[in-house]
Structure 1
Amino acid sequence: MKPQVQIEYCPGCRWLLRAGWTAQELLTTFEQELGAVTLRPSETGGRFTVTVDGVVVWDRKTEGRFPEMKELKQIIRDRIAPEHDLGHSDTPERQ
């Protein structure tokens, strides 16, 4: 079974567009590797978390900020498809 990503976002903060854009970027980058990317409105205010198969890989409150897309792609790639080349979004040591 392919990995599944869930993006939980705060609807009261109007973060649906950010969550949707994040999902689109991940699906475009990992179209062969991911089974699904789902969006989930949070019941907790201020939440923006990204999980892969139930494991939190990014939490806005813990990190104190939203992830840069390049950064999030690297985190997810390292977890689901370490051999996947991210091109210009990759870390310098991997290029």
Structure 2
Amino acid sequence: MPNQIVIEYCPKCGWLLRAAYMAQELLTTFTTELDSVTLKPSATGGRYHIYLNDALLFDRHEASGFPEIKTLKQWVRDRISPGKDLGHSDR
């Protein structure tokens, strides 16, 4: 099964750069494990959702903020490549 991430962000909130940064970090870390990372502008104001293979991985509203990139990488790793060493992100 291909591993796909969708980052749905609120363009009115100015979160495109944050979404792009997270996409870059994930694509750099999971070069062979991820098939795609898609940035999707949301029609719903304030939304910032991250989906992995169509399952909700993160909801900014539920978390009351944004995840640290280290934490996001660990969540993705634990689901698609549990044995992968994340180097400094595991410390």
TM-score (normalizing by structure 1)? 0.93
Q: Which runs of 5+ in 2 are unaligned?
A: none
Residue 60 of structure 1 is matched in structure 2 by: 60
Equivalences for residues 25-40 of structure 1 within 5 A:
25-40=25-40
SS in 2 for 1:12: helix
Q: How does 1:1-95 map to 2 (within 5 A)?
A: 1-90=1-90, 92=91
CA RMSD of aligned residues (A): 0.7
Q: Identity over the aligned pairs, expressed in percent?
A: 57
The alignment covers a number of residue pairs equal to: 91
Runs (4+) of structure 1 moved beyond 4 Å? none
Q: Distance in 1 between matches of 2:49 and 2:73?
A: 14
The structural deviation recorded for 1:2 is 2.1
The alpha-carbon deviation at position 89 of structure 1 amounts to 0.1
